[in-house]
Amino acid sequence: MHMKPVYSVVIPCYNEQEVIAESYRRLSGVMRGMGESYELIFVNDGSRDGTAALLNELAQGDECVKVLHFAANRGHQIAVTAGLDYALGSAVVIIDADLQDPPELIPEMAALWKEGAQVVYGQRKSRSGESYFKLKTAELYYKLIQRLTGGFIPRDTGDFRLVDEQVADVVRGMPEHARFLRGMFAWAGFRQVPLLYDRDKRFAGQTHYPLKKMLKLAADGVLSFSDKPLKLPLWLGLCWLAAGAVTLLVLLILLILGRPGGLWWLAALGMLGFGSVLTALGVAGSYLARVYDEAKQRPLYVVAETRGFDSENSEEPVDD
Ligand code: UDP
Ligand code: MG
């Protein structure tokens, strides 16, 4: 039976046995209260604790619950991707299992969606239970990524969001392996609106985002959406070349005036040599950036709506 629900909720879970029962309770309470059809898609990202058994039990007792079990841990972004791929809903909600994102906000997101928003992203106005270190590094990181990507990725925004199926389809069609979903959704475009919220503490258990995974995610964000780092040597190299050229010029003038310059000639040569190597690296980086861009195989453009083409009704966008 393939009933298309109005809402799909995607919940990635990795070793979350302490929180599953409570997240299911709060999520299904909220979803039932909304009075429309829904499915809860739990993605078990290769958990090694009791998560799998708990999820299977839930699926047995509630036909709205669907479970994907990964054969091995693939990480949060991939787990969410899988949930997104299996989601049938007209709107897809992405939410963490640990109740840091309050399920009670889903009706507000849905209301904004019904008013025409196609992406409603949770934007944190506060975060409780996070260390000073995490808050500071997050702040710096958002500044960095805004700088490097021209600001299209919103700050203080994680993966907690509701997206229209049209936007979900765009992201489903982006086959890149290094996935920074918040960036991919932002890249898709469409009408995006923030919903400000206070991020809660984890309900139980502990984070599965140790510093190492966090750094990888941070790096993916920069590397998937900016080629500036690859081109940096080009500008540095050109600066060194210019400095070398100026030094050389000054030395030549001094030579004409009868002053030999001594070891400065060596310095000028060094600058020119160093500058050429860096420039060459930057040029190679520029080609690599192109190769990378092609390799990502992102769609070239995303059409939100068409008018006046054959077999289409000019009033409403047609989806198939
Ligand atoms: N998660 C996952 N796979 C992983 C790590 C985390 O599916 O390899 C899930 C986890 O179960 C939770 C969400 O991703 O639902 C966010 O992880 P967590 O709460 O540990 O990260 P934090 O909120 O501390 O950044
Ligand atoms: Mg968490």
DSSP symbol at 300:
S
- For the stretch 192-202, pLDDT in tens is 999 999 988 88
The domain locations on the chain are 7-226+299-314, 228-295
Q: How far is CA 247 from the centre of its chain?
A: 46
pLDDT of residue 312: 57
Cα of 255 to ligand 1 centre, how many Å?
A: 67
pLDDT of residue 170: 96
Distance CA 290, CA 81 (A): 25
* CA-proximal residue: ligand 1, atom 1 (nearest): 76
- For the stretch 20-50, pLDDT in tens is 999 999 999 999 999 999 999 999 999 999 9
Among all ligands shown, which has an atom nearest to the Cα of 159? 1
Looking at domain 7-226+299-314, its CATH class is alpha beta
Q: Which atom from ligand 1 is nearest to the alpha carbon of 15? A: 11
DSSP state string for 184-222 = HHHHH-SSEEEEEEEEPPPSSS--S--HHHHHHHHHHHH
Ligand 1 neighbours by CB, cut-off 6 Å: 12-14, 16, 45, 73, 75-76, 79, 96-98, 100, 207-209
Among all ligands shown, which has an atom nearest to the Cα of 214? 1
Distance CA 78, CA 74 (A): 6
Q: Summarize the confidence of residues 182-191 as an average pLDDT.
A: 94
Phi, psi of 121 (to 5 degrees): -105, 135
CA torsion sign, 219 to 220 to 224 to 225?
A: negative
Q: Say yes or no to pLDDT of 236 above 70.
A: yes
DSSP symbol at 179:
-
pLDDT, the chain, mean: 92
